[in-house]
């Protein structure tokens, strides 16, 4: 028998999913960015890694301001958010060489929004064969690289970002 080891999942299983601080609100203290898997914080947008990813490199791109829906965004925030989605895809292409992407926005809990109060895009890199018998038969997803290692590969690319045409940093 083979053993699938994914100890970081226990944090999610045991976590209090109800109340608490918003995982997307960056605050002013950057000292916890690595622990929170924050890759980038600008004046209008931020990028974090999904702590409970579907697959390696699963990123979350959100406005820096706590807003629940697209209608609440300013035009500058909307442009900056989409530009950051595009730049995040560019980084993933360079660092991880995926063959495709799923990019999505879940609005409302019935649509699958896990954090309904703070709008965020999911960027999920995809490779041919990344869905296999484990997912289909065992309802288990195999993630081949530890999240801290993926974070270490992505962070230097995001640190290079400066001013965006959309007005963010």
- Give the CATH number of the domain where residue 46 resides: 3.30.428.10
Q: How far apart are CA 73 and CA 92, in angstroms?
A: 26
The 8-class DSSP code of residue 133 comes to H
pLDDT value for 5:
65
Q: Do the beta carbons of residue 100 and residue 126 sit within 8 Å? A: yes
**Domains contained in the chain, number:** 1
**d(C-alpha 55, C-alpha 16), whole Å:** 23
Q: Which residue in this structure is represented by tokens 């999913």?
A: 17
Which structural domain range is residue 98 located in?
30-158
Confirm whether 3 is domain-assigned.
no
Query: Global pTM?
Result: 0.78
Is 25 a domain residue? no
**169 belongs to a structural domain:** no
The pLDDT assigned to 101 comes to 95
pLDDT at 145: 81
- Of residues 58, 118, 120, 122, which has the active-site annotation? 120
Domain assignment present for residue 44? The answer is yes
CA distances from 66 to 38, 69, 142, 153 (A): 16, 10, 32, 28
The answer to the question of residue 22 being in a domain is no
With CA atoms as reference, report the closest residue to 39 among 167, 133, 131, 153.
153
Encode the chain (169 residues) as per-residue pLDDT tens digits: 555 666 666 665 666 555 567 888 888 888 889 999 999 999 999 999 998 888 889 999 999 999 999 999 999 999 999 999 999 999 999 999 999 999 999 888 887 777 878 999 999 999 887 765 455 455 666 677 888 999 999 999 998 886 554 555 5
Query: What letter does residue 149 receive in the DSSP assignment?
Result: H
CA dist., res. 122 & res. 111, Å (int): 13
Q: Give catalytic status of residue 120 as yes or no.
A: yes
d(Cα 50, Cα 122) in Å, to the nearest integer?
A: 8
């Amino acid at each position: 028998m083979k053993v699938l080891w994914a100890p970081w999942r226990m944090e999610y299983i045991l976590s209090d999913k109800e109340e608490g601080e918003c995982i997307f609100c960056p605050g002013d203290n950057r000292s916890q960015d690595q622990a929170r898997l924050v890759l980038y914080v600008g004046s209008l947008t931020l990028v974090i890694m999904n702590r409970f990813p579907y697959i390696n490199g699963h990123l979350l791109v959100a406005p820096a301001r706590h807003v629940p829906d697209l209608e609440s965004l300013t035009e500058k925030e909307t442009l900056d958010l989409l530009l950051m989605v595009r730049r995040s895809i560019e980084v993933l292409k360079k660092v991880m060489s995926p063959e495709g992407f799923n990019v999505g926005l879940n609005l409302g809990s019935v649509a699958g929004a896990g954090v309904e109060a703070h709008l965020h895009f999911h960027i999920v890199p995809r490779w041919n064969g990344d869905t296999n018998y484990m997912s289909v038969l065992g309802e288990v997803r195999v993630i081949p690289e530890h999240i801290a290692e993926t974070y270490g590969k992505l962070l230097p690319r995001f640190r290079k970002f400066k001013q965006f045409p959309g007005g963010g940093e």
